[in-house]
Structure 1
């Protein structure tokens, strides 16, 4: 029953965690782990795939148990795994390692009692997506070991090894293409700022910074995946990727909050409640980025990866909800102003824009958090790059929409802060200062 429960738990988390790692060369430390199944990396193999596995420092909580046929490594597809669980439930087998639906890589009965390490190489000729799993079918036995796995595909045409999964081998080119697009977009934005320099606000420079950070993030991601593709390791580009991903995430959410509050568009100041939203969003983005780093570095199936995955999803949802409140407040204020202050036409135009922006933000969040995830889940492993293209295309469309609608423009009613608004803003700031004193 324990084995069945743990196997079911693995199944429930299997689909949740498949999207987080790229199965490069990876070293994993297992310490006193008694799980019946310990999943490692997932990889999309071609007909010329190979797995090199080196396991050292093997030890057991009960030294008398020793190596046996109840422990070992195997490869399994997602489709086959569900059938293996059915076999366990129907008591056709008592250990996942003994199923005829898995590819046994190494069984511990091949070890001598004194052996504490082994190295093996396994060829994969079936083109499919496999997960490397360690099976421990001995109840209450905790295992410790260091696992070094190398998964790659061989290209007989050019004689090169490809350490990226079959469905993700195009990612370096895809990320670099989007990097070039953002560079061009940034150039157009600089040109627009120069041409309309008399109508430029501070937020326009902030928007330029967001585009630059996004471009740098894509460049680092392209280099990161390129080095992994060729060598199996990132050669330090992953560190730069994490840094720019962190800065890009914070700056984008901050930009949405600033636009949603109407800062520099409707008023040249932030209210206390709007400042509090920023104070919530920024720390949450720090936590979200930390969780993502932990997931990426420990692999998608680490012992605590499921917890970190849930933390990341929760924080991301909270951030997405938080950035919507300032837009709702602005819409409410504009609706009230349109009825009372005698400038109904101008305020209705502003109200229309913020309503559109609210809808677009909702669509952007829904598409990148739900649709892209669903696409990655249902798409064949050969076409996993399509979910990346979809996510990046949606993000680019969001950037273009934001830039076009909030671009610097002379006599743009959306940016009109007239003398009365300036005076009201000054009075509000004075009242705040007096209140603080």
Structure 2
């Protein structure tokens, strides 16, 4: 029994790792699927919440009763009770039903019997939620091995006092305004950064232009995310601007890792060239980030109802973690080089000052990556559905703090220890650059 209930436990947990609960109006086509349980969506309802499910083009390869195929809702509290009872069958006064549709802990919505009974084989059922909670919308196939095909249109929403619909789960309503707030903050930061670079233009380097591009991409990413989510919340469907959201999300991700790698190697500050191993890091990290961002866009447009959804998301999560680990190597190499230089260089004080800056930057990068990859996911998992916006707020706050730290530490400034090259360093850099050009 627990084997058939395993998706109840693991799918919502994995779903919380990748996207907030925002239920759009979706039309999904399932073909020859034999899974016993399919999760369509998680959604937090108020007392005025409703679920609409439209099923058409139904077919199933079984002679069993059509009442053994159907949709149901189950709350988080009932889900835990259902799993608990299934693990301790001997303590139950009555045998547990083998079909989830017959469980006393779920709210049945409709079965294939109702769909097949209509002449058009197109059936719509609207269910009013009377108890506020977070519910999962599931499809149950209680005939082992039976292949099911169907087209499903789902819509979950809460009704506002004025009669309009809110297609966002409880706890996610504040997300668009959160993104809008931080977008304004990044645009303000871009203006300040442009002023600092202009005022200290003699000390500005090429990396500062790339950092400005990163600020612009981050601000636009949040702006289009806020606009797209606001539109989806009101209408239940995204529109053309979500393409721009994915474009700038992709550009922002690539630029962020590129800037971290280039700063970590000292490019444009300590030397005008990259070593071969540092180039290899960029060659590895950038394509991986391209894959991770494309995967993120695909995940945002699909859902856990797809076969292999959990497996592929685990792969994409590993890719993201691999990128996070890879960007740390150039910083470690730079710290090691400076540490060795400080032992032999007569100007050890300056070298040690640079070493201190590298260490601070290294700790900041580790803290940022750990928080946004681990702590935020933990917050999404343990926080009540009513306060899921808090994980978004925490992630954006820490990200903004990391940007402020990085931009302040490596701002264009006269006599900044990180920027200043002594004569030996400058001659060595020029010689290495000439040698590299000669080899090419």
Give the TM-score category using the shorter length. over 0.9
Please state how far the C-alpha of 1:255 moved relative to its aligned partner: 0.4
Alpha carbons 1:29, 1:147 under 8 Å: kept: yes
Alpha carbons 1:17, 1:309 under 8 Å: kept: no
Q: TM-score, normalised by structure 2?
A: 0.95
Please state how far the C-alpha of 1:427 moved relative to its aligned partner: 1.4
- 2:346 counterpart (342, 348, 352): 342
- 2:75 counterpart (67, 74, 77): 77
- Once the two structures are superposed, the pairs formed by residues 121-140 of structure 1 within 5 Å of their partners are 121-140=126-145
Bigger mean CA deviation after superposition, 20-29 or 135-144: 20-29
The corresponding residue for 2:283 is: 279
User: Could you tell me how far apart the structure 2 residues matched to 1:111 and 1:29 are?
Assistant: 16
The corresponding residue for 2:371 is: 367
1:39-87 CA-to-partner distances (Å, cap 9, x unmatched) read: 101111111001111111111123x44622x111001122322322344
- How many residues get paired? 431
User: Could you tell me how far apart the structure 1 residues matched to 2:31 and 2:132 are?
Assistant: 33
- 1:204 counterpart (199, 202, 208): 208
- 2:13 counterpart (5, 12, 15): 15
Alpha carbons 1:67, 1:111 under 8 Å: kept: no
- 1:226 counterpart (227, 230, 246): 230
1:338-395 CA-to-partner distances (Å, cap 9, x unmatched) read: 1112111111110000000000100001100111110111111011000000000010
1:180-226 CA-to-partner distances (Å, cap 9, x unmatched) read: 11111111101101111111000011101000000000001000110
Bigger mean CA deviation after superposition, 87-96 or 304-313: 87-96
User: Could you tell me how far apart the structure 2 residues matched to 1:55 and 1:256 are?
Assistant: 49
Please state how far the C-alpha of 1:260 moved relative to its aligned partner: 0.4
In the superposition, relative to structure 1, how do residues 308 and 238 fare at CA in structure 2: closer, same or farther (>3 Å)?
A: farther
- 1:320 counterpart (324, 344, 349): 324
Please state how far the C-alpha of 1:28 moved relative to its aligned partner: 1.5
5+ residue gaps, structure 2, are: 90-94
Paired residue secondary structure (2:15) = coil
Please state how far the C-alpha of 1:109 moved relative to its aligned partner: 3.0
User: Could you tell me how far apart the structure 2 residues matched to 1:300 and 1:201 are?
Assistant: 46
Please state how far the C-alpha of 1:10 moved relative to its aligned partner: 4.2
The corresponding residue for 1:33 is: 33
User: Could you tell me how far apart the structure 1 residues matched to 2:372 and 2:402 are?
Assistant: 11
Alpha carbons 1:71, 1:134 under 8 Å: kept: yes
Alpha carbons 1:266, 1:416 under 8 Å: kept: yes
The corresponding residue for 1:46 is: 46
Tell me if 1:239 matches 2:243: yes
User: Could you tell me how far apart the structure 1 residues matched to 2:309 and 2:22 are?
Assistant: 15
Alpha carbons 2:8, 2:79 under 8 Å: kept: no
The corresponding residue for 1:300 is: 304
Alpha carbons 1:338, 1:344 under 8 Å: kept: yes
Paired residue secondary structure (2:97) = coil
Alpha carbons 2:58, 2:149 under 8 Å: kept: yes
User: Could you tell me how far apart the structure 2 residues matched to 1:386 and 1:103 are?
Assistant: 29
5+ residue gaps, structure 1, are: none
- 1:144 counterpart (142, 146, 149): 149
User: Could you tell me how far apart the structure 2 residues matched to 1:231 and 1:115 are?
Assistant: 28
Alpha carbons 1:288, 1:311 under 8 Å: kept: no
- Aligned structure 1 segments of 4 or more residues deviating by more than 6 angstroms: none
Alpha carbons 1:17, 1:301 under 8 Å: kept: no
Alpha carbons 1:210, 1:251 under 8 Å: kept: yes
Alpha carbons 1:88, 1:95 under 8 Å: kept: no
User: Could you tell me how far apart the structure 1 residues matched to 2:305 and 2:211 are?
Assistant: 37
User: Could you tell me how far apart the structure 2 residues matched to 1:159 and 1:112 are?
Assistant: 33
1:7-57 CA-to-partner distances (Å, cap 9, x unmatched) read: 214422331113425211112111111111111011111110011111111
Alpha carbons 2:69, 2:139 under 8 Å: kept: yes
Alpha carbons 1:338, 1:348 under 8 Å: kept: yes
- Once the two structures are superposed, the pairs formed by residues 93-108 of structure 1 within 5 Å of their partners are 93-108=97-112
User: Could you tell me how far apart the structure 1 residues matched to 2:413 and 2:247 are?
Assistant: 33
- 1:289 counterpart (284, 293, 303): 293
1:230-256 CA-to-partner distances (Å, cap 9, x unmatched) read: 101111222111110000000000000
The corresponding residue for 2:92 is: none
User: Could you tell me how far apart the structure 1 residues matched to 2:234 and 2:352 are?
Assistant: 56
The corresponding residue for 2:430 is: 426
Paired residue secondary structure (2:66) = coil
Paired residue secondary structure (2:171) = helix
Q: TM-score, normalised by structure 1?
A: 0.95
Paired residue secondary structure (1:39) = strand
Tell me if 1:55 matches 2:59: no
Paired residue secondary structure (1:270) = coil
